[in-house]
Homo-oligomer: A and B are copies of this chain.
């Protein structure tokens, strides 16, 4: 209280033992006499001692912190950058990632350090921060397929785990979804309910998840006798979903089923369809992807392909933790299975 915070030394003096013993008690090392342990406990209580993180990190070389890096692709800057962070968090997807990561970290008294890397400069900064030991490792969520960050991290030998398989192979662990399977489920569901004029609104094709979903969708459609599928590219936003649907409707007014690569775009599509007097699902069936909370909330509730984002993010954090503890050395990938959630829109 008198100016500076109590240190181990203070507690040791108070308890009448050595610094080392106090350290042992604090760190739960069992080879300490119960009586002494208790005495130390009380001394800690009395002094209001809290171990100094920096000092501990200095010697353990661990910070008990992991960086959660939201990584864009190219060289965004200024106003556009702001748009980046805004857009990132407008999508409920990232909230779910954060939730999952926190779920894993919290019980282990670890915290995520939030970083954005959406330009060469900020990417370098993130890399630097990591090299300086701001965090023990990184969890990377890329918004673009050719994100250079994973390779940079791997080259620098920094422990990192990715959300989604990198476009070029990188010796890092990652979690991902079987996007093709998800798209297949969507296609089959639309076909099974009798749709015959089926179109798709893809995500930005610079994202490999978008490509996989498109590929999976097309494959299934082709196999089921629909080699040609009208495609409109969206940007994973509500607005882009509206725009894509408008375009689709203009060129293919007879459309009776739509697979959108995420829920936000599916909602945008529903919006446009409603405005044009089409009933969902009676005139046009719409199916989304993600199973975000909005999918259940919106009208009609969205039939969608569930992606267990929170779970995936938790596993991502677990993989990193295992790498950090040395419990895992080889890059590993964990692929999750999607699940079709049938509600009212299709």
Residues in A lying within 8 Å of B, measured CB to CB: 5, 50-55, 57-58, 61, 63, 65, 67-68, 82, 85-86, 88-90, 92, 94-96, 98-99, 102-103, 106, 109, 111-116, 122, 125, 128-129, 131-134, 237-239, 268, 271, 275, 293-294, 297-299, 310
CA distance A85 to B122 in the complex (A): 27
CA distance A5 to B158 in the complex (A): 12
One of B5, B85, B112 near A99 (C-beta < 8 A): B85
Please determine whether A95 and B99 come into contact, CB atoms closer than 8 angstroms: no
CA distance A114 to B99 in the complex (A): 11
Contact A122-B134, Cβ < 8 Å, known A90-B92, A111-B114: no
Please determine whether A65 and B116 come into contact, CB atoms closer than 8 angstroms: no
CA distance A21 to B150 in the complex (A): 35
**Nearest chain-B residue to A67 (Cβ)?**
B111
Q: Chain A at the B interface: mostly helix, strand, loop or mixed?
A: helix
Please determine whether A114 and B134 come into contact, CB atoms closer than 8 angstroms: no
The 30 listed contacts between A and B (C-beta, < 8 Å) are A5-B131, A50-B132, A52-B58, A52-B133, A53-B129, A53-B133, A54-B57, A54-B58, A54-B63, A65-B113, A82-B99, A82-B103, A82-B310, A85-B102, A86-B96, A86-B99, A86-B293, A86-B310, A89-B94, A89-B95, A89-B98, A90-B293, A98-B114, A102-B114, A111-B115, A113-B113, A113-B114, A238-B298, A268-B297, A271-B299
CA distance A220 to B177 in the complex (A): 53
Contact A89-B99, Cβ < 8 Å, known A133-B53, A134-B65: yes
Please determine whether B111 and A113 come into contact, CB atoms closer than 8 angstroms: yes
Give the residues in chain B near A239, CB-CB below 8 Å: 297
Please determine whether B95 and A132 come into contact, CB atoms closer than 8 angstroms: no
Give the residues in chain B near A106, CB-CB below 8 Å: 116, 122
**Nearest chain-B residue to A51 (Cβ)?**
B132
Give the residues in chain B near A54, CB-CB below 8 Å: 54-55, 57-58, 61, 63, 133
**Nearest chain-B residue to A52 (Cβ)?**
B133
Contact A50-B128, Cβ < 8 Å, known A82-B99, A103-B82, A299-B275: yes
Give the residues in chain B near A102, CB-CB below 8 Å: 85, 114, 116
**Nearest chain-B residue to A61 (Cβ)?**
B54
**Nearest chain-B residue to A294 (Cβ)?**
B238
